[in-house]
């Protein structure tokens, strides 16, 4: 095996030497003008990286969930509610965030016989169900949906949902965290008002910094919402970051690394090139899964390009498969919740040398049939 362990989990993802070395640019006080320049560069680069020119970026030190929580609590006005698409762990998390913060939340879920979780988690939401839920709850102020449900590697139809939401006054909040830079999101055409992203998945930065990208309507909304949290109040980040600073001590070195990751991203051809790479990776590893007889859970047409959920082969417990693959240089990822005993995930996010993906089939074969 090559020296480096390849992470095939959905973040934190492997990073390049340049990105890791950027951590060593030095110590910097975030009240100095140099940090203001770094922040201004990131705020300009992030919308451009996701082809969302015109959106304004707010960075927060924290994991992706910090961006989700900031988006949810900053998008619903007093006395109004949020409609959440719930067809996976992260949709469920959006709901939990709203409720934990005292915001009335309605869930819209795919139809599933007897509430079967597997069906619910592998069925993209029908935009007509969103339309019906909006009609049933006229007080909805924001609609939140996860684009790429990392739970199963399933894509929700955000463009169609965007068209439905555009017929109302609600703002559209998209959790684009596991698709940031790597999935074909066309966010510019979706009408997304608040987009949540993170440094360490498709952008190949390090974990510790997340962000929201806001349209003009999104900016208006966050200024019109009561402060429900001290740390995650988007309006105070907006005020501070427009003046070149941040309200709390930022993860300066992680910001350096994100800056370097974005340089690499643009040098390599930006969004179009990164999403093409992920499509090619998906095609490569999935042809190997097919030869090995490994069945993919999500139907074609609803699959992401970065996460593949596979049925565990008969008589191969997950832990054994995990350990055998780790000996061969690959870290795979378990299924979540009810899916953990029957399925596993292989994620092709981050800096992964192509030849290591080519060798994955052999390593998997040896691990399944020793
Ligand atoms: C779709 C999605 N949303 C949110 C998150 C939460 O991110 P974090 O674990 O960085 O808080 C994840 C993490 O994998 C995710 O995949």
For the chain, 370 residues long, give each residue's pLDDT as a single digit of tens: 457 899 999 999 999 999 999 999 999 999 999 999 999 999 999 999 999 999 999 999 999 999 999 999 999 999 999 999 999 999 999 999 999 999 999 999 999 888 788 999 999 999 999 999 999 999 999 999 999 999 999 999 999 999 999 999 999 999 999 998 899 888 888 999 999 999 999 999 999 999 999 999 999 999 999 999 999 999 999 999 999 989 999 999 999 999 999 999 999 999 999 999 999 999 999 999 999 999 999 999 999 999 999 999 988 999 999 999 999 999 999 998 878 889 999 999 999 999 999 999 999 999 998 7
Topology given in CATH for the domain delimited by 6-12+270-368: 3.90.1150
Give the separation between CA 354 and CA 281, rounded to whole angstroms: 8
Structure tokens at 128: 């007509």
- Counting from 1 in the atom list of ligand 1, the atom nearest the Cα of 201 is 14
Structure confidence at residue 315 (pLDDT): 84
CA of 261 relative to ligand 1 center, distance in Å: 19
Residue 257 phi, psi (nearest 5): -65, -35
Q: Which residues are annotated as a binding site?
A: 345
Structure confidence at residue 245 (pLDDT): 87
Strands 56-61 and 209-214, bridge-based pairing: antiparallel
Structure confidence at residue 369 (pLDDT): 87
CB of 173 closer than 8 Å to CB of 204? no
Q: In CATH, what is the architecture of 17-267?
A: 3-Layer(aba) Sandwich (3.40)
- Let me know how long the chain is: 370
Mutational pocket test of ligand 1: of 88, 153, 178, the residue with most ligand atoms within 8 Å of the beta carbon:
178
Work out the burial of residue 48: count CB atoms within 10 Å of its CB; fewer than 13 is exposed, 13-18 middle, 19 or more buried: middle
CB of 202 closer than 8 Å to CB of 306? yes
**Residues whose beta carbon lies within 6 Å of some atom of ligand 1:** 10-11, 63-65, 68, 90, 146, 148, 150, 175, 177-178, 198
Structure tokens at 40: 């201004």
Mutational pocket test of ligand 1: of 85, 147, 177, the residue with most ligand atoms within 8 Å of the beta carbon:
177
Structure confidence at residue 84 (pLDDT): 98
CB of 214 closer than 8 Å to CB of 222? yes
Structure confidence at residue 2 (pLDDT): 59
CA of 32 relative to ligand 1 center, distance in Å: 31
Domain residue ranges of the chain, discontinuous segments joined by +: 6-12+270-368, 17-267
DSSP letter (8 states) at residue 135: H
CA of 267 relative to ligand 1 center, distance in Å: 26
């Amino acid at each position: 095996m090559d020296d480096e362990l390849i992470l095939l989990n959905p973040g934190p993802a492997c990073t390049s030497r340049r990105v890791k070395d950027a951590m060593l640019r030095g110590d910097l006080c975030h009240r100095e003008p140099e940090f203001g320049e770094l922040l201004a560069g990131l705020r300009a680069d992030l919308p451009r990286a996701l082809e969302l020119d015109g959106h304004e970026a707010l960075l927060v030190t924290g994991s992706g969930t910090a961006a989700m929580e900031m988006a949810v609590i900053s998008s619903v006005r007093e006395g109004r509610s949020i409609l959440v698409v719930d067809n996976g762990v992260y949709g469920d998390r959006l709901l939990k965030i709203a409720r934990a913060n005292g915001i009335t939340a309605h869930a819209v879920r795919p139809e599933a016989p007897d509430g079967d979780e597997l069906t619910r988690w592998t069925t993209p939401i029908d935009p007509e169900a969103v339309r019906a839920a909006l009609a049933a709850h006229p007080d909805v102020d924001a609609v939140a949906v996860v684009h790429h449900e990392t739970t199963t590697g399933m894509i929700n139809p955000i463009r169609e949902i965007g068209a439905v939401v555009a017929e109302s006054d609600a703002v559209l909040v998209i959790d684009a965290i596991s698709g940031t830079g790597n999935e074909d999101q066309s966010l510019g055409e979706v009408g997304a008002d608040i987009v949540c992203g993170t440094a360490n998945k498709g952008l190949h930065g390090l974990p510790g910094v997340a962000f929201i990208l806001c349209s003009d309507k999104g900016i208006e909304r966050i200024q019109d919402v009561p402060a429900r949290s001290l740390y995650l109040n988007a309006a105070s980040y907006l005020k501070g970051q427009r003046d070149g600073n941040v309200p709390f001590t930022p993860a300066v070195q992680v910001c350096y690394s994100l800056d370097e990751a974005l340089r690499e991203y643009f040098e390599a051809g930006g969004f179009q090139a990164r999403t093409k790479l992920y499509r090619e990776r998906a095609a490569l590893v999935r042809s190997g899964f097919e030869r090995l007889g490994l069945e993919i859970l999500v139907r074609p047409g609803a699959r992401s390009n970065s996460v593949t959920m596979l049925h565990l082969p008969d008589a191969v417990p997950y832990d054994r498969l995990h350990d055998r693959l780790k000996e061969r240089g690959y870290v795979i990822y378990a299924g979540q919740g009810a899916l953990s005993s029957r399925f596993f995930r292989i994620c092709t996010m981050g800096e992964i040398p192509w030849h290591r993906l080519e060798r994955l089939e052999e390593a998997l074969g040896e691990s399944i049939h020793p």
